[in-house]
Amino acid sequence: MSATLLGSCINSQVSQRTSISNIDSNTGDETCAPEIEEIEFGISPSESQENLKTHWAPFLAAMEAELGRPVIAFYATDYAGVIEAMGANKLQLAWYGGKAYIEAAKRSNAEAFTRTVNSNGTQGYYSHLITNVANPIVNEVDLQEGTGDRYIVDHAAELTFAFNDPNSTSGFLVPTYYIFARNRMNPNEAFKELIFAGSHEATALAVVNNQVDVATNNSETLTMLEKSDPETRAKIQVIWTSPVIPTEPIAYRKDLPSCLKEQISSFFYNYKDVTVLEPLGWSGFVPAEDKDWNTIRELEIAKDILEVQNNQALSTEEKQQQINQLEQQLEELQS
């Protein structure tokens, strides 16, 4: 399993609300799902809450006007917060990363219905390893070839390193598989110091402020940083780039009334206001379904298989048993 695997397809408060009925409301002249008085929308912590609120407020206002009911933003402090809030029936909608979504689909009743389209029209993005432009690492790697992953493998014990969040696709899962699992490395033990910074913005600042030598990030965040703070962006050097990753899903709860699902999806599919979407890094949305993120599921299983293979605490029999179970999961996904 390699690049072809991934490229094969790619703290505001939460208010109480009335439980969602599994029975659809009539859609004739009556209001759709009147028992749901407001929509609560979970937003994953890709950057600071202040920046997220600035970027998201106009879009949420447009959604509120279209749906005819309040849309309340929930800005989580970590990815798990959005997953758990939807699982507790406190959110009806959420913007997830790929890895966070597959967790939410598994245990929080989430159902993806759309995915974002980048400002340039593409539907993918990349995980990166970054360092400060003044860090000596820059002179030790081939920047054109992006050999920073090799440097990390060879010099981890001398380096400080930051992931953003364990439920992040580009900030954890992708680099964990391609850099660490495939090289039989345990990042928890390999580095002089390892931290979880919390968001992509936080890992960028950790590098800029020389708090860590190397950190994870992604192309979307760096593109937005180029526009919002070019001086900070100029201090960041990309030293490794992953295969392409599918753009982020937006999901609603599976048990929303069908009429409300239709209203929500119609809003997303038809929304084209560039002045509102551009600060979010998007040009629009396209329909999506759960299986679009099977490549992320496959990647996570592949990572787990490599970790089992490299686990010296397991006997040969225990390894084979666990690998057989994981390979069965993989076969079921691909069938």
Q: What does the pLDDT look like over 20-32, one tens digit per residue?
A: 333 343 434 467 9
100 and 27 together in one domain: yes
81 and 179 together in one domain: no
CATH code assigned at 26: 3.40.190.10
Interior/surface letters 83-95, b for 16+ CB within 10 angstroms, e for the rest: bbbbbeeebbbbb
For the chain, the 3-state helix, strand and coil shares in percent, each to the nearest 5, are 45, 20, 35
Domain boundary residue, one of 175, 207, 241: 241
**73 CB-near residues (< 8 Å, 6+ apart):** 12, 41, 43, 53, 56, 57, 60
110 and 57 together in one domain: yes
140 and 233 together in one domain: yes
179 and 325 together in one domain: no
- pLDDT surpasses 60 at 11: no
Q: Structural domain of residue 300, as residue ranges?
A: 295-334
Pairing of strands 245-246, 124-125: antiparallel
Supply the pTM of this predicted model: 0.82
Distance CA 268, CA 215 (A): 33
pLDDT of residue 333: 84
The per-residue pLDDT of the chain, averaged, comes to 90
Domain count, the chain: 3
41 and 119 together in one domain: yes
pLDDT of residue 27: 39
pLDDT of residue 5: 45
Q: What does the pLDDT look like over 224-253, one tens digit per residue?
A: 999 999 999 999 999 999 999 999 999 999
186 and 200 together in one domain: yes
Q: What are phi and psi of 168, to 5 degrees?
A: -85, 140
Domain boundary residue, one of 241, 256, 271: 241
pLDDT of residue 184: 84
306 and 218 together in one domain: no
**Adjacency order of strands within the sheet including 110-118:** 71-75, 39-43, 93-95, 249-253, 110-118, 282-287
Would you give the distance in Å from CA 218 to the centre of its chain? 10
- pLDDT surpasses 80 at 106: yes
pLDDT of residue 335: 75
Distance CA 249, CA 134 (A): 36
Confidence of residue 212 (pLDDT cuts 50, 70, 90): very high
301 and 288 together in one domain: no
Confidence of residue 309 (pLDDT cuts 50, 70, 90): confident
132 and 34 together in one domain: no
148 and 118 together in one domain: no
133 and 96 together in one domain: no
Pairing of strands 193-196, 160-163: parallel
- pLDDT surpasses 70 at 80: yes
